[in-house]
Amino acid sequence: MTLQHIILLAVVQGITEFLPISSSGHLILAPALTGSPDQGLLVDVAVHVGTLAAVLMYFWRDVFAMLGGFVRLFTGRINAGARLAIHIVLATIPVVAVGFYLKVSGIEEQLRSVEIIAWTTLGFGILLWIADKVGMTINRLEHMRWGGALFIGLAQVLALIPGTSRSGITMTAARFMGYERSDAAQFSMLMSIPVILGAGLLAGIDLQQAGNIALNEDILLAAGLSFLTALIAIAVLMNWLKRSSFTPFAIYRVLLGGGLLVWIYLYNGAPLPFIG
């Protein structure tokens, strides 16, 4: 891969991981649109490590509260941190179970098509807009119950289809349940921690078995850039949602999905030379 493509992928991953616009879809689109080779598993792991570090740093208070609360569970006492940790675990179980099945069955690879990304980007973008319009803003994270966490976790399973957006579908589910926008985003990002960590560990095992773990300047650059851009994206999103809505993200998804459908059906998905 060229340095240009490594920088592009790192920045794309950092920006899109936590915005409700689908990071996996954008990472699949990058080589498809430019005609460049797939970035490979090692670069994928590097950019995900960067985004994981960003969410851990931004929400470090919540992370420490959950860790402390988890320890308190062994003493039979439950505090706010413990409840949040329990909710994150409950919300993670469905995607782990279904994700493992898709991986071992080989179905996962069959879903990595631009056509699927186009339709999911468009469809779930409209769903996000509807949820944001009809959903009330009366609930905070402290109001969450086990059933609500499980519902958002079940919605997260849909993100295994590229283009759906893990953050997008979980924020959509939370908004349908009446959670305030910033709280919906906060819970979604905290949910990303075990998901990114688990996916990274599985990918790391695959790399080790293939004997393909070799850190170099390009890999470190990819991880560093994705960390910085993800940190900025999280801060911008959280500040935006305190005073505005998800509408710009829904509009972007509709435009991107519609544009991709035009590209697929009218231009037969030919690489775009002005991007590569």
Read off the pLDDT of residues 100-149 as tens digits, 9 standing for 90 and up: 888 788 787 778 788 999 999 999 999 999 999 999 999 999 999 999 99
State the burial class of residue 209 (Cβ atoms within 10 Å of its Cβ: 0-12, 13-18, 19+). Answer: exposed
Cα–Cα distance between 65 and 73 in angstroms, integer?
12
Chain centre distance of CA 67: 22
In a domain, 217, yes or no: yes
Cα–Cα distance between 153 and 107 in angstroms, integer?
21
Predicted local confidence at residue 41, as pLDDT: 65
Cα–Cα distance between 166 and 22 in angstroms, integer?
7
Side-chain-side CA neighbours of residue 62 (13 Å): 21
Q: Which domain holds residue 104?
A: 3-267
In a domain, 148, yes or no: yes
In a domain, 207, yes or no: yes
Predicted local confidence at residue 7, as pLDDT: 86
State the burial class of residue 166 (Cβ atoms within 10 Å of its Cβ: 0-12, 13-18, 19+). Answer: buried
In a domain, 54, yes or no: yes
| CA dist 141 → 80, 83, 87, 146 (Å) | 10, 10, 10, 12
Percent of the chain with pLDDT over 70: 89
pLDDT category, 5, cuts 50, 70, 90?
A: confident
In a domain, 275, yes or no: no
In a domain, 140, yes or no: yes
Cα–Cα distance between 203 and 217 in angstroms, integer?
20
Kindly state the average pLDDT of the residues 2-9: 82
Chain centre distance of CA 94: 16
Predicted local confidence at residue 229, as pLDDT: 97
Identify any residues that bridge with 98 across adjacent strands, giving them in sequence order.
none
Over residues 199-210, the pLDDT tens digits come to: 878 777 776 776
pLDDT category, 274, cuts 50, 70, 90?
A: very low
In a domain, 131, yes or no: yes
User: Residue 207's closest CA among 45, 3, 20?
Assistant: 45
Tokens 């544009």, residue? Answer: 259
Judge contact between 163 and 120, C-beta under 8 A. yes
In a domain, 273, yes or no: no
Cα–Cα distance between 255 and 125 in angstroms, integer?
9
Kindly state the average pLDDT of the residues 170-197: 97
Predicted local confidence at residue 106, as pLDDT: 78
How many domains, the chain?
Answer: 1
Report the SS3 class of residue 256. helix
**pTM recorded for the entire structure:** 0.91
